[in-house]
């Protein structure tokens, strides 16, 4: 039997319970939906008993629940905008300080890269974009946030994978990450890379044939996507995809694209992902994407492979490690490879061709360089010269600079005790991302022609040409190499970087040697950059081109 309380005392007790609930949520950040139900449902239900004598059963519950939730919400909002909040010193729009919902809405339209860049222009180098979150445009933050002693990965990575039972490499941090990364490093060392050349060559030849057959009004971006997806399937699982000959028959490309967007939503709201895992109807796209990876990896285990593919290393088929890793881990990482390695590389290739076709003089310069290294009859896929081709490498770097394909960066969480990041102190538990897109397009890091495609900046920086050769005044030249991070930075940077560069160099050389391309009639180049979307990885719009074969008889 509960003691009877005066109405005023019962109301006060309810308000106190709401404040305690706020404290518990803030301190422990529970993610389990059952705990949420308990913390939010039990207090109003139980406390309504005290008001029953005054309002009856239903009335008492309505009054208690209203008071409880109004007090809770008010307490949360006031705390978040108050000067007592640990992030109070950082500027940002009021709406973002109160809740992350508005940013999630912007993000789900794929506009986060541009929106965040505008926020930096308005508020400065560190902007508060959520109650507990900042974005950073200061290149001096790259080392302390992403470097060897940097921050661990944020919860966004678990949300993106919908709290998958096995944590993949990309979601891991610290010692766990280091241990998982070992076989990946073996899979991407120079000997292993040599072994993938044949696989790239076969697929690149197929791509060139397809483009030369299709000729008119081809969506080059989609063809690059098919190419990278087929190649990554060969590379990760010893085969299993044939989009370059059959098209996207099983709509796998669609699954991957839709899965990325859905995963991005859950990364933005990891607590919703925790709910979605409890209800099978939610997160279908992410689950289909995961299922695909598991099916491919399982088939690979059953069938084996004649090539030394990525699986060969991940599954310790090379016998280097004393302990073979659990199969579920290998499968999860195999799926990660296809997801991380296809879209990214296809995007860079598409962006590069867009910029080259928009700047015909740059296109011709690169073509001339390819012709000088690989005259007709020479094998443009031969990797011997690729790393020494200055114009090729400068053009690829410039495409990576203008559109880093992970534009909004890799979100991390400040460790216990907080940490100084350059001149900025980030309190414990703050989610922080270095905004690669803004850093790459900051004139303090790259000038002149900061927002234009100007590959010469990389040639000047490498000492291959002088500023005067490139027609600019030396005093205007700024090149901050430490601010160029398209593959991220530190121990969790892109493990596939060298493979991606090799794949892109080979493909560009072959296509440039063999084909001539121009924008298709009616294609509006203006629409391309505006159409780029940020769903963690960039999603590209159509790039329509006409293709013809070059004269190879010289
Ligand atoms: C031009 C193409 C590529 C770009 C620009 C790129 C960029 C990136 C970036 C920015 C990250 C960090 C993501 C984060 O911290 O959340 C990353 C991670 C990763 N990338 Fe790439 N990537 C490319 C191609 C590839 C390829 C071909 C593979 C091959 C499998 C690959 C595999 C991975 C993996 C496994 C990670 C996670 C590494 C870790 O956490 O240790 N990437 N990539």
Ranges of each domain in the chain: 7-81, 169-445+480-543, 448-477
pLDDT of 112 > 90? The answer is yes
Ligand 1 in contact with 273 (CB < 6 A)?
no
C-alpha 116/C-alpha 38 separation (Å) is 36
pLDDT of residue 52: 93
161-170, 351-360, 440-449, 471-480: range with lowest mean pLDDT: 161-170
Q: How many CA atoms lie within 13 A of 423 on its CB side?
A: 7
Angstrom distance (rounded) from CA 413 to CA 452? 33
| Predicted confidence (pLDDT) at residue 171 exceeds the cutoff of 70 | yes
Q: In angstroms, what is the span from residue 491 Cα to ligand 1's centroid?
A: 12
Residue nearest to ligand 1 atom 9, measured at CA:
487
**433 contacts 409 by C-beta, under 8 angstroms:** yes
**Alpha carbons 181 and 208: distance in angstroms, whole number:** 34
Gap from CA of 515 to ligand 1 centroid (Å): 29
> Of 357, 229, 352, whose CA–CA distance to 296 is shortest?
229
For residue 216, how many other CB atoms are within 10 A of its CB? 11
The verdict on whether residue 494 carries a ligand-binding annotation is yes
In this structure, the number of other CB atoms found within 10 A of the CB of residue 135 comes to 29
The pLDDT tens digits of the residues spanning 194-215 come to 989 999 999 999 999 999 999 8
Measured in Å, residue 49 CA sits from the centre of ligand 1 at 56
Confidence at residue 69, expressed as pLDDT on a 0 to 100 scale: 97
Alpha-carbon distance of 443 to 448, in angstroms, equals 7
Q: Does pLDDT of 66 surpass 70? A: yes
User: In terms of CATH, what superfamily is 169-445+480-543?
Assistant: Cytochrome P450 (1.10.630.10)
Sign of CA dihedral 259, 262, 268, 269: negative
In 85-217, alpha helices (H): 94-98, 101-108, 112-123, 142-146, 156-160, 174-187, 190-214
pLDDT (tens digit per residue) in 385-430? 999 999 999 999 999 999 999 999 999 999 999 999 988 999 999 9
Question: φ, ψ for residue 490 (rounded to 5)?
Answer: 90, -170
Q: Which atom of ligand 1 is nearest to the CA of 228?
A: 27
- Residues 535/110, Cβ–Cβ less than 8 Å: yes
Judge contact between 406 and 108, C-beta under 8 A: no
Whole-number average pLDDT of the chain: 92
- Once rounded to an integer, what is the mean pLDDT over residues 150-178? 91
The residue whose CA is least distant from atom 17 of ligand 1 is: 494
CB atoms within 10 A of CB 483: 21
1 pLDDT band, cuts 50/70/90, is: low
Alpha helix segments (H runs only) across 215-283: 220-237, 243-246, 252-268, 270-276
Instruction: Give residue 550 CA to ligand 1 midpoint distance, Å.
Output: 34
Q: Who's near 12: CB < 8 A, 6+ residues apart? A: none
At 264, list the tokens: 């991005």
């Amino acid at each position: 039997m509960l003691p009877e309380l005066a109405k005023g005392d019962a109301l006060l007790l309810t308000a106190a319970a709401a404040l305690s609930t706020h404290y518990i949520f803030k301190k422990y950040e529970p993610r389990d939906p059952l705990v949420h139900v308990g913390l939010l449902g039990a207090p109003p239900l139980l406390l309504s008993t005290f008001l029953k004598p005054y309002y009856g059963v239903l009335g008492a519950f309505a009054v208690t629940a209203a008071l409880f939730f109004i007090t809770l919400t008010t307490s949360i909002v006031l705390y978040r905008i108050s000067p007592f909040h640990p992030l109070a010193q950082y500027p940002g729009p009021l709406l973002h300080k109160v809740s992350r919902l508005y940013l999630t809405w912007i993000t789900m339209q794929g506009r986060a890269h541009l929106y965040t860049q505008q926020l930096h222009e308005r508020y400065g180098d560190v902007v508060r974009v959520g109650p507990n979150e900042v974005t950073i445009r200061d290149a001096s933050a790259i080392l302390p946030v992403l470097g060897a002693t940097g921050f661990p990965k944020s919860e966004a990575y678990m949300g993106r994978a919908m709290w998958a039972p096995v944590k993949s490499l990309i979601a891991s941090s610290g010692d766990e990450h280091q241990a998982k990364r070992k076989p990946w490093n073996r899979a991407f060392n120079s000997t292993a890379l040599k072994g993938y050349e044949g696989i790239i060559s076969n697929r690149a030849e197929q791509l060139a044939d397809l483009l030369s057959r299709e000729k008119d009004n081809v969506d080059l971006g989609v063809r690059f996507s098919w190419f990278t997806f087929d190649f990554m399937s060969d590379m990760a699982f010893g085969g299993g995809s044939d989009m370059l000959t059959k098209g996207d028959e099983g709509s796998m490309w669609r699954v991957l694209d839709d899965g990325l967007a859905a995963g991005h939503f859950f990364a933005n709201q990891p607590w919703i992902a925790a709910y979605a895992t409890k209800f099978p109807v939610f997160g279908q796209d992410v689950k289909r994407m995961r299922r695909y990876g598991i099916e491919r990896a399982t088939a690979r285990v059953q069938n084996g492979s004649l090539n030394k593919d990525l699986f060969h290393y991940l599954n310790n088929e090379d016998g280097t490690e004393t302990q073979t890793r659990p199969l579920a881990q290998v499968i999860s990482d195999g799926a990660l490879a296809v997801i991380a390695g296809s879209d990214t590389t296809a995007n860079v290739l598409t962006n590069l061709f867009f910029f080259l076709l928009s700047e015909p003089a740059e296109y011709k310069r690169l073509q001339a360089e390819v012709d000088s290294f690989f005259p007709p009859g020479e094998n443009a896929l031969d990797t011997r010269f690729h790393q020494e081709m200055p114009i090729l490498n400068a053009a690829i770097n410039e495409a990576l600079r203008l559109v880093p394909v992970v534009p909004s960066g890799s979100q991390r969480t400040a460790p216990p005790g907080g940490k100084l990041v350059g001149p900025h102190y980030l309190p414990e538990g703050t989610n922080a991302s270095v905004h690669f897109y803004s850093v790459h397009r900051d004139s303090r890091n790259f000038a002149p022609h900061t927002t234009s495609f100007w590959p010469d900046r990389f040639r000047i920086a490498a000492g291959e040409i002088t500023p005067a050769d490139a027609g600019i005044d030396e005093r205007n030249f700024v090149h901050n190499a430490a601010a160029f991070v398209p593959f991220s930075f530190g121990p969790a940077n892109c493990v596939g970087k060298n493979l991606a560069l090799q794949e892109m160099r080979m493909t560009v050389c072959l296509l440039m040697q063999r084909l001539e391309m121009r924008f298709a009639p009616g294609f509006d180049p203006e629409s391309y950059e505006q159409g780029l979307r940020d769903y963690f990885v960039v999603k590209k719009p159509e790039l329509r081109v006409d293709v013809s074969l070059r004269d190879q008889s010289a």
